[in-house]
Amino acid sequence: MVDKFDPADIVVLNSCTVKNPSQEAFATLLRRAQAQKKTVVAAGCVPQAEPTLADVKDCSVVGVTNISRICEVVGESLKGHIVKLLEHKELPQLCLPKIRKNKHVEIVPMSTGCLGQCTFCKTRQARGTLMSYDIATIVQRVKQAVEEGVTEIWLTSEDSGTYGRDIGHTLPELCWEVLGVLRPHNVIKIGMTNPPFILEHMEEMAAILRHPQVYSHMHIPVQSGSNAVLDSMAREYTVEDFVLLCDYLAENVAGVTFATDIICGFPTETEEDFDKTLDLVKKYKFPSLFISQFYPRPGTVAADMKKLDTKVVKSRSTELTKLFESYRTYDSLLGTEQRVWVTDIETNKKNAEAGGKGETALVGHTKFYVKVIIREVDPGLLGRCVKVKITEVQKWHVVGVVTDRNVSSEVVQPVSHYKREFQKTKVNFRARERLHKLKAELAAKCPVGKRKRSAVSERPRGHAISNIPWMEIAYVAGTVLVLLGILMVFLGK
């Protein structure tokens, strides 16, 4: 395999159809390869969602559930044949051979497809409805990766919170099982989840995020701070649901960080709606914020909506970007020591592009998935968990020096220990929220000083139902019945 067009005999291009720019980038690369007279195989969501697209007319195509046949398609394409494999099939094998882009990171898909019906998105058109891998298959893939020396495990999906709903399992169940096969230096990163389906698991997910081998980080796309816009997007949750989820996790997972996505200029978005989005960002100061301008995707409901003026869309995107760039979230880490998983080496591209040498550094992440730059380039640290003192903080990352080269041996309890701890503290959060709401409503309607005592509370204390010794009465009654029975048996003889 090569990573450049020139020496390649055949070019395989994978694609994403979520946004216009990603599809346009795919089309640009496709035309470039064809201009160089290269044999091309188009794969992924773009040809799956739009099989009649002119760009893929004269090349072989591999759909999203046919990836296991990629070698077959490449072989036939090199012979001059055009192969089209677009039918939706069962899930492809998970344990296929692979060449990792980063040998320290394993990306494990938990499922494919989506349960949502978002009016702006083509994911479901390309990938269909939810299909989850069973837990044993995923655990086996993780176990194999760990044995091959991988440090970081990414559990990914179009929507992680939906995992297992089609096969009778849940994301927390999967996470506990995966944690059971890790080695002390391994760590899990849980992929993006939309609010609706993760809400019912948020208590158990909080316990999982507290586990020392799971990044305390969640990517939860909100898309808008306005319920009216969310309704137009058919997002199936409210801003209040998003706030409840973030607040609960922030309260119960020390140091947890959030990433989110926002679409600026959705067709129904008013100035008031956009102001609500700004307010939401001001409240949470997300360390990672993915800002997109609305792009009408062909074949979606939103594509038929009346679009906002382009200038308005760009203006809102610019304003939100300026807000995001106006705050910093990592200053509190300065001078602290953090546990960091080191998984990569990167070069300062700006210096290199300017003709400079290009500074090289190790890259890792803290327990809260904060990017850490380590300027001591020791390849022996790659794939290890180390302790780092933070000496510098920036908007996008922090810089530190290694103080302990091996903290992988830190004691991690068996998974059963963490599950027991969760069961001890488990409460019915929804019921508690309803109780708090009822108490608040009562307090608003009738201040404490003016409340009337209930009929029960006005009973003389000696006659309160709760003060009657029911257990003693039952014991005496039972004893009397037993004695009567013995007496009747005696008299009968």
At residue 487, the pLDDT reads: 56
Percent of the chain with pLDDT over 70: 83
Across all residues in the chain, what is the average pLDDT?
A: 85
Predicted confidence (pLDDT) at residue 456 exceeds the cutoff of 70: no
Residue 355: pLDDT band (50, 70, 90) is very low
CA–centroid distance for 308 within its chain: 30
Contact 442, 422 (CB under 8 A): no
pLDDT (average), residues 401-409: 82
pLDDT (average), residues 64-78: 84
CATH 3.80.30.20: which residues of the chain?
Answer: 105-328
How far is residue 189's CA from residue 178's CA, in Å, rounded to a whole number?
A: 11
pLDDT (average), residues 442-459: 43
At residue 118, the pLDDT reads: 93
pLDDT (average), residues 55-75: 83
Q: Which CATH class is domain 333-404?
A: mainly beta
Predicted confidence (pLDDT) at residue 366 exceeds the cutoff of 60: yes
**151-205 residue pLDDT tens:** 999 999 999 999 999 999 999 999 999 999 999 999 999 999 999 989 989 999 9
Half-sphere exposure at residue 295, Cβ-oriented, CA atoms within 13 angstroms:
15
At residue 457, the pLDDT reads: 33
Name the nearest CA neighbour of 406 among 490, 342, 310.
342
Predicted confidence (pLDDT) at residue 445 exceeds the cutoff of 60: no
At residue 454, the pLDDT reads: 34
At residue 281, the pLDDT reads: 98
Angle at CA 471, nearest 5°, toward 466 and 476? 135
CATH 2.40.50.140: which residues of the chain?
Answer: 333-404
**Buried b / exposed e along 271-296 (16+ C-beta atoms within 10 A):** eebbebbeebbeebebbbbebbbbbe
At residue 194, the pLDDT reads: 94
pLDDT (average), residues 80-94: 81
Query: Which stretch of 130-134, 185-189, 433-437 has the lowest confidence by average pLDDT?
Result: 433-437
pLDDT (average), residues 463-479: 49
Residue 462: pLDDT band (50, 70, 90) is very low
Predicted confidence (pLDDT) at residue 476 exceeds the cutoff of 70: no
Say what the pTM is.
0.81
Residue 491: pLDDT band (50, 70, 90) is low
At residue 282, the pLDDT reads: 98
At residue 275, the pLDDT reads: 98
**252-306 residue pLDDT tens:** 999 999 999 999 999 999 999 999 999 999 999 999 999 999 989 888 999 999 9
Residue, of 480 and 233, whose pLDDT is higher: 233
Percent of the chain with pLDDT over 90: 53
pLDDT (average), residues 404-428: 78
Predicted confidence (pLDDT) at residue 441 exceeds the cutoff of 70: no
Q: Say whether domain 105-328 belongs to CATH 3.80.30.20.
A: yes
pLDDT (average), residues 77-85: 86
pLDDT (average), residues 225-230: 97
